[in-house]
Chains A and B, each alone.
Chain A
Amino acid sequence: MSRILIAEDEVLMLKALEFKLKKDGYQVDVASDGKQAMEKIKQNTYDLILTDIMMPFVGGMEILSYVKNDPVKKITPVLLISAVGLEDVVLEGFRLGAEDFIYKPFNLNELSVRIRRHVKQNNFA
């Protein structure tokens, strides 16, 4: 069973994503801020990380940067969620190595498909 980490500070959104991904058959870990997410990333290995860009303590970009600079964890796909679709932010995300970018509001079923594709690609790699 693939293991996914969701880092999101909005409680409702976190719960919705957790329910959805569990229903899709993943093992899901959740973090309600960037600090918690970092601790979990350091302790565990994930098949995919889904993180909000703006979070307290540690932002999504810092998480992305940490994962992509770690020689072992860098193969983990990171999907960024953001309410702002600013070009600079998107470019910075892709430059740092993000696999995908999702803008709020988004379609939950579409997110589910994207996650499935990235997890599958990662498992083949």
Chain B
Amino acid sequence: MNFLEGLINYIAETYTDRLNYFPSNVKTSLLIILFCVIATLEMYIYITFRRLSQANEKRQLDKWNEHVSNMLANLIIFDEADKTEDIVAHFYPKMKKWPLRNKVLNKVLISEILTYHKSFTGQIGEVLSILYRKLGLDKKSKKKINSRNWEVKIEGIREANEMRISEMAAEIIKYTDDENALLRMESQAAYINLSENNPFHFLDRAQERILDWHQVVLFEIITKNKALKIPSFSQWLRSPNDTVVMLCLKLVEHFMQFEAAEEVERLLKHHNPRIVKKSVEIIGKLELASAETSMFEIYFDQPEDVKLEILNSLGKISSGSYENFLMSRIYSGNVKIKKEALYAIKRDQHQGEEKLRELYQQTTVENQALINHVLDSRIKP
């Protein structure tokens, strides 16, 4: 004990009485040592408190997990004959007694309600939605949406989307053109589901890109949501944002919107070759014979993939007006072009194969080999 006391006194004196008598380099070293010791002690105190708080949180998490999952499991097995309002009236008072301000409970409750809402259809979804609102969890989601942290915003948007809280659409629209791609994408997906009057309004204001893979996600949402009122997507085909045009072209194609024919034809002169190619593809799919001339006019200025698509579309339309043009293409120096032109000729259901057989007699050996290839029904184009 005396030794320890002596040591502490010695250290204390070193930093009080004797410090001024040391040379400056020793003084600096002693001060650095003091700083390091204090920092280490603070770190240990911080770690201890953090571990205690984590252990406490885990305890609470386990407790509430058990409580909430038991309550919800009981809730979802109600009798088929029970009315929605009766089930809500039975469970709401019990849940209301929980300390809903407790962050851990809130986290668990929201997460479990969302899981059940995602997994089960029918009356359960309705009951869970009502409880979500009655317990004020929608307000928590709104608070998250208005948070400064983008990850929290996304969490709030997902909750609102899953629980179909339509009044949140007005909050979410502002993020649909955010510079953060993840936030932007999540908001657009949610907005389509939540907006009751104008679910495609975000396309009017979209200046940021809609990335390719997100176009796939939006396409899935739009085409699978049966409650959605589908507008004419031609209204966005003049958008200055190429990615909006691209998405709308895909939707025009999927919903076979013939009223967009004129706008699609206009896009053949678009500066973006991907949009031109997609427009050509749609013209072929919708068999828009009126656009044949426009396709012919742009043909020679296009890259190879667009040229191939034009030949393909001319074949699908098969009006006969550009038969000579297709015949001339088989003397191109490019084998892919030759082959596509031959397939286009073959697509004429009435005389296609006959025409190819006639051509076989008059053409080069290389073309004859290609005609044999195209006429072989075992080979798919």
Contact = CB atoms under 8 A, between A and B. Distances in A.
B116 A12 contact: yes
A16 B77 contact: yes
B77 A105 contact: no
Interface string A19-40: 1100100000000000000000
The 9 closest A-B pairs by CB, nearest first: A107-B122, A19-B73, A15-B73, A20-B77, A105-B121, A107-B121, A16-B73, A12-B115, A23-B77
A10 B115 contact: yes
A89 interface: no
B226 to A, nearest CB: 15
A16 B349 CA distance: 58
Interface of A: 10-13, 15-16, 18-20, 23, 104-110
Contacts of A106: 119-121
A6 B311 CA distance: 56
A11 B115 CA distance: 10
B124 interface: yes
B69 A108 contact: no
Interface residues on B, range: 10 to 19
Nearest to A23: B77
Contacts of A16: 72-73, 76-77, 116, 119-120
A18 B70 CA distance: 11
Nearest to A109: B80
B118 interface: yes
Contact of A19 (B74, B80, B115, B118): B74
Given A108-B122, A108-B124, 11 more contacts: A10-B119, A11-B69, A12-B119, A13-B115, A16-B119, A16-B120, A18-B73, A105-B120, A106-B119, A109-B80, A109-B122
Nearest to A17: B73
Interface string B108-132: 0000100110111110100000000
Interface string B5-47: 0000000000000000000000000000000000000000000
A12 B72 contact: yes
25 contacts: A10-B115, A12-B69, A12-B115, A12-B119, A13-B115, A16-B72, A16-B73, A16-B119, A16-B120, A18-B73, A19-B74, A20-B76, A20-B77, A23-B77, A104-B119, A105-B119, A105-B120, A106-B119, A107-B120, A107-B121, A107-B122, A108-B122, A108-B124, A109-B80, A109-B122
B115 A108 contact: no
Contacts of A13: 115, 119
Interface string B72-85: 11101100100000
B116 to A, nearest CB: 7
A115 to B, nearest CB: 13
A16 B118 CA distance: 13
A12 B75 CA distance: 13
A18 B74 CA distance: 10
B87 to A, nearest CB: 13
Contact of A105 (B72, B73, B80, B118): B118
Nearest to A15: B73
A15 to B, nearest CB: 5
B336 to A, nearest CB: 32
B221 to A, nearest CB: 16
A48 B361 CA distance: 68
A12 B112 contact: yes
A106 B116 CA distance: 10
A108 B120 contact: yes
A109 B122 CA distance: 9
